[in-house]
Amino acid sequence: MTPRPVLIAPSILSADLARLQDEIDTIEQHADWLQIDVMDGHFVPNLSFGAPVIRCLKTKLLLDVHLMVTNPADRIDECLAAGAKHITFHAEAVGSERDRNVLIARIREGGATAGIAVNPKTGIDAIDDVVGALDLVLVMSVEPGFGGQEFLPEVLEKVRLLRKRSPGLMIQMDGGINEKNARLCVEAGANNLVAGHCIFSAKDRARAITTLRNVCA
């Protein structure tokens, strides 16, 4: 059974970055979290933004930083100082249980919640060592790096397995999520949905977010 409520986390990657604060203002009253995709051009082929941008954002939304970077340990302090209240790093970037636990502890000591992300090809067993110590697991439904990609339905089985093993965990999904597949994600067990293109390509962002909530209800 998926814990409720389902949180909606628009991703600014798909926003008009030349008017980023205005774009955030259009979703401020309707979303739950705001996801910031930090990309280093190495762990993923794209380069995006980091703490200098995060610290400029004015929002009451919970700042959710998704670190798609090879060395997440180097980014934690600056993201915390910039206002991050949730930080997710990738299992593929931090292999050892010890290093993962060190990162989780640092994030928590900085007053944020901690998550780990798994790419579409990474199995849930790859995070068995820390899943009990986490606040959130992010199951990617696209290969990370770019917004606007097609949703990969094969990851839903991973979500079902994770929900079965961890009934109280916050399970976030990210990538290609829209009004057509959001319900599938929640029925599989996700209770936190990241959406970039589906929200920021819409003229009426409030309506886009409400539609996601309604299809998941």
Q: DSSP string of 59-123?
A: -SSEEEEEEESS-GGGTHHHHHHTT-SEEEEETTT--SHHHHHHHHHHHHHTT-EEEEEE-TTS-
Stretch that binds ligand DX5, among 56-64, 100-108, 196-204, 205-213 (CB under 6 A): 196-204
* 68 HSE (CA, 13 A, CB side): 26
| Angstrom distance (rounded) from CA 26 to CA 125 | 39
Q: Considering 37, 40, 77, 125, which one is annotated as catalytic? A: 37
| Angstrom distance (rounded) from CA 107 to CA 95 | 17
Q: Which x/- pattern over 69-98 shows residues binding ligand DX5 (rule: CB under 6 A)?
A: ------------------------------
* Whether 174 is catalytic: yes
User: In angstroms, how far apart are the furthest CA atoms of the chain?
Assistant: 46
149 lines the binding site for ligand DX5 (CB under 6 A): yes
Tell the smallest beta-carbon distance from residue 167 to ligand DX5 (Å).
26
* Whether 129 is catalytic: no
Q: Beta strand 113-118 with 86-90: parallel, antiparallel or unpaired?
A: parallel
The residues with which 193 forms a beta bridge, in sequence order, are 8, 173
* Closer residue to ligand DX5, CB minimum distance, 37 or 163: 37
Q: Which position among 6, 7, 8, 14 is part of the footprint of ligand DX5 (CB under 6 A)?
A: 14
Residues in binding contact with ligand DX5, number by CB under 6 A: 23
- Please count the other Cβ atoms lying within 10 Å of the Cβ belonging to residue 94: 22
120 lines the binding site for ligand DX5 (CB under 6 A): no
Stretch that binds ligand DX5, among 88-96, 102-110, 182-190, 195-203 (CB under 6 A): 195-203
194 lines the binding site for ligand DX5 (CB under 6 A): yes
Binding site for ligand DX5 (CB under 6 A): 11, 13-14, 35, 37, 66, 68, 142, 144-149, 174-177, 194-198
